[in-house]
Structure 1
Amino acid sequence: MVYGYSAGHEVELNRSEKLILELVRRNDGISRSSLVSQTILNQSSVHRIVDTLTENGFLSLGESPSQGRGKPSPSLSLNANARYGYGISINSDSVAASLINFRGGITEYCVLDTHPRDPARTLLNIRHHYLDTLKQYGISPEKVCGVGYSMAGFLYESRKYFNPPEPLKAWMGIDLHREITMLFDRPVWIENNATTAAHAEAFLGAGLKYDTFGYLSFNYGFGGGIVINGKPFQGAFGNAGEISRIFTPEEGKLRPALGILIDRLRDGGIEIKDIRDLNDKFDPAWPIAQQWVEDVTPNLHRAMDAMNAVIDPGAIILGGEIPRQLGEMFLAMPRTSSGERWGISAEYPDILLSAIEGDSSALGAALTPLRETYFN
């Protein structure tokens, strides 16, 4: 389960109510009568649940066009202002925050003018952004159902701490759940950045077409997230999708981590300060970048094959902080066939670049409290 809890004053929804909200989320404008055919609930139960959700402000009713005789069945939409989720993403050289409304719309997204090298200062700056954002949009803190926090690295000691990459070493050993709860006084969810990015894809991107998919996150390091049957999968210790674990330390030097690419570019005389600078300056014509893509593609394909073998996804999404032109270079690299049996090859997932703009980890972190609290 995701590390979080529901506030005592929050409306507690049962599974049937969450199912109705999920169906409306996926089918905006669906008629109340159409909901009945998509559930095992009878008509009176669906009508009762819809009435309750409407009274509590989660659903908005509209009128469907008349289809024959009789009164048209009301159309249903999520009420965007019903609740909000706030998300935080700590990357190796940047901090992003977002506020997402109940329909998954982005109310606010911002890369903060702060560097994550100082955890205490960073968290205070995030809190100031949170309070300023609520004030700007006239949103009561009680409307925020929770705060999602994401960071590069893996979780340990019952998801209490992060083991981050070297640029974020100052965050090692901090009980972030406790600190963020004290700062925000809201329910808190803690995940690594690849998992929350996959969460954003499930809600806003690839998940609208694919129920099961893998997500490969290109950041300072290289990781992954998993969505199975529409739900992000965290695993027993919160580290499902940590795909770099399949490489030995020696092989890890040729994994597709952007920190390694930056080091190569610097060694070759191309000065890149950090990943944001890489995104601003990246040129697919750089010979160093072209050679690096050739060198690391075998291990990228190995990671894809491992994910394909274990979860049988409909798609694998390339995302994180990867420059789009670099992602296109990877897509253009030829793949080696896994072979045939009796003249038939196993189906292979679609390989796509994430279409989500901005820091998908921050968006997914904001969506996590909403999804875990209100959607099935």
Structure 2
Amino acid sequence: MKYVPLDHVATHFLRDFQPSRVASRNERDLLRLIWKSPGIERSDLTEPLDLTQQSLHRIVRQLHDRGMIVFSTSETRRPGPPSPELTLCKDWCLTLGISVNVGSIGLCLMGFGEPLENMEIPQEGSSLSVEMERIDTAVGELLARRGAERRDVLGVGLAVSGHRMLETAFNCPLPLAHWSLIDLAPLLGEQLGLPVWADNVARTAALAEAIFGVGRDVADFAYIAHLHGYGGGLVCGGMPFRGSFGNAGEYSVLFGRQDYDDRPALGLLLQHLRAKGRTDLTLKDLKNEALVDWDGVAEWVDRVAPAHNHAINAICAVFDPALIVLGGELPHSLAEMLIERTEFNNLPRHGVLRDVPRLAVGRVVDAPGAIGAALIPLFETVL
């Protein structure tokens, strides 16, 4: 039987039971507007939502009665009856984000759309059951820090490094082979006793950048996730674009076998630096901003620059974004080196060049995959 996360949402979060639903379409539109513009006055919601004043007041009252929004008195005096300012009640629900990367597992505890706390535990061993138990323990610790219980959690977003296969199964890099080709959401859901939605870690990192980072004011942008591997995500209209099979943004597919080892993937940089004598390095060590001064780093950047430019120009040709973000686990100093070596294929026609995207370094640097994953339950149910 197909796993449906909504079927496992706690009943006290539900608006309707048949079918299970946390919020109606109009309620979700209203909640998202309030989330994006905290403190917006109720009277300012009528026009963007295309609702009558009577309908708007009814929906607002129902959401307030459920404890989802709070009222405050407007400090600006305008002609006419007073209109309350609306904000989301951060305590109405919690969500959890869990990102499974090579070498680390990131966790994010989020209030109603607001990150509260991050945690990172090592990813080690080859037993899926043991790693899920360790995740379970870490979740318990995170909740205990806030004095919260599992019943306070609306849902969990699971972000996994790897190509998406069927349902919530992924084809992961070799160090994560024990996470591969298994329908993960029902397994983790049973372990945690909570509903689980799953996606690729690069796309959840792109979502975090869209909501909290440099992509916040850009409707369409591409995100390159420099992790153990090399992937990313496409954000279209402010939301991740997944494609027919859930793998839009898998930039590694651009490279054949002969070019695969020249991608700007941090796992390959790790191999390169180990060969240079830094045998004890881990992926976590590559977050060091000073690594650009290490022996062999500039040589590696020059080596992968053609692949970087190939990916940049492919993104421009196919997606035509306003912005390309270099993110993942990439330190800012290394990202700037790649940006400096970027060459756009932009031959002038009639003496005029076409517009090309701006390149920027990702702003969400601590657990971006986990932060984006914690947003998934909200976007699937209430926003």
Please indicate the TM-score interval, normalised by the length of the shorter structure. over 0.9
Does residue 24 (structure 1) correspond to residue 31 (structure 2)? The answer is no
Moved runs in structure 1, 4+ residues, more than 6 A? none
Deviations 1:27-64 (A, max 9, x none): 11111111112222222222221111111111111111
Q: Which amino acid in 1 is paired with 2:221?
A: F
1:141 and 2:141 are equivalent in the alignment: no
The alpha-carbon deviation at position 159 of structure 1 amounts to 2.8
Matches of 1:3 and 1:165 in 2, distance apart? 27
How far apart in 2 are the matches of 1:72 and 1:301? 56
Give the paired residue count.
372
Matches within 5 A, 1:221-240: 221-240=229-248
Q: 1:5 — aligned with what?
A: 6
TM superposition shift of 1:3: 7.4
The answer (yes or no) to whether the contact 1:151–1:191 under 8 Å persists in 2 is yes
Identity %: 34
Do residues 244 (structure 1) and 252 (structure 2) align?
yes
Deviation (angstroms), 1:206:
3.1
The letter of the residue matching 1:308 is C
Structure 1 regions of 5+ residues with no counterpart?
A: none
Q: Distance in 2 between matches of 1:362 and 1:30?
A: 29
Following superposition of structure 1 onto structure 2, how do residues 1-376 of structure 1 map, counting pairs within 5 Å? 4-6=5-7, 7=9, 9=11, 10-11=14-15, 12-104=22-114, 106-113=115-122, 115=124, 117-156=126-165, 158-280=166-288, 282-375=290-383
C-alpha separation in 2, matches of 1:62 and 1:325: 44
Structure 2: where are the runs of 5+ without partners?
16-21
Q: Against the structure 1 CA distance between its residues 351 and 116, is the aligned structure 2 distance closer, same or farther, given a 3 Å change threshold?
A: farther
TM-score by length of 1: 0.93
Distance 1:280 1:68, change over 3 A: closer
* 116 and 162 in structure 1: CA distance in 2 versus 1, 3 angstrom threshold: farther
CA RMSD of aligned residues (A): 1.9
Q: Which amino acid aligns with 2:142?
A: T
**8 Å CA contact retained: 1:94, 1:116:** no
Question: Could you report, residue by residue, the CA deviation over 1:182-218 in whole angstroms, capped at 9, with x for unpaired residues?
Answer: 1112211111110111121122123421111111000
User: Residues 265 and 272 of structure 1 are in contact (CA less than 8 Å); yes or no, is this contact kept in structure 2?
Assistant: no
8 Å CA contact 2:168–2:199 kept in 1: the answer is no
By how many angstroms is 1:116 displaced? 5.5
- Name the aligned partner's letter for residue 190 of structure 2: M
What is the identity, as a one-letter code, of the residue corresponding to 1:90? V
TM-score, scaled to structure 2: 0.92
Quote how far apart the aligned CAs of 1:293 are.
Answer: 0.9
Structure 1 residues 307, 159: CA separation in 2 closer, same or farther (over 3 Å shift)?
farther
Distance in 1 between residues matched to 2:214 and 2:26, nearest whole Å: 25
